[in-house]
Amino acid sequence: MVKKITFSPEANEKLKDIILYLVNEWSVKSAVKFIKILEDKLNHIEQFPLLYPVFNVESDIHFCVINKQITRYYRITDLNIEIITLFDSRSNPTSIKL
Residue 94 clears pLDDT 70, i.e. is over it = no
String of DSSP letters for 19-86: HHHHHHHT-HHHHHHHHHHHHHHHHHHHH-TTSSPEEETTTTEEEEE-SSSEEEEEEE-SSEEEEEEE
CATH architecture, domain defined by 4-91: 2-Layer Sandwich (3.30)
Segment among 33-37, 59-63, 70-74, 88-92 with least mean pLDDT:
88-92
Q: What is the pLDDT of residues 2-12, one digit of tens each?
A: 789 999 999 99
Q: What is the pLDDT of residues 50-70, one digit of tens each?
A: 999 998 888 889 999 998 889
Q: Give the closest residue to 38 by CA, choosing from 60, 65, 2.
A: 65
Domain residue extents for the chain: 4-91
- pLDDT, mean over the chain: 88
> If residue 12 lies in a helix (H) or strand (E), which one and from where to where?
helix 9-25
Q: What is the pTM of this model?
A: 0.84
Residue 93 clears pLDDT 80, i.e. is over it = no
